[in-house]
Amino acid sequence: MFGLSIDHIVILLLAGLFILGPERLPEAAHWVAQTVKRIRGFAAGTKAQLEAELGPEYQELRKPLQELQSLRIGNPRAAMTKYLFDDTPPVASPVSTPAPAPVAVPLRAGERPPVDPDAT
């Protein structure tokens, strides 16, 4: 529930017991449960409305988010394996191959190497 462990939930219940007292704690817990239920209902209704209005475009919008979610949940090894060994071919770049790097020419005797004062 909300990423909380059992220890955290017990601590929250004990804090609620001390703050609200034993008389109001069940009432507060019922109110929280009803509010969470309402929020989930609103979220489900909104999702259904978006799916109905957008149609197949909704799945296209969700696909990048699902991929991002799978990367966030997964471990780095699984993400790299998926990236490196995925069956989809890489997209070819429209740019031509880069020109080869210029060949370094050795300095003559007594010649000082060029210095770029902005780079040093």
- 71 CB contacts (<8 Å, ≥6 apart)? 79
pTM of the predicted model, to two decimals?
A: 0.42
pLDDT of amino acid 79:
67
Q: How confident is the model at residue 90 (pLDDT cuts 50, 70, 90)?
A: low
How many Cβ atoms are within 10 Å of 45's Cβ, its own excluded?
Answer: 10
Per the structure block, which two tokens stand in for 62? 């969700």
At position 92, the amino acid (one-letter code) is A
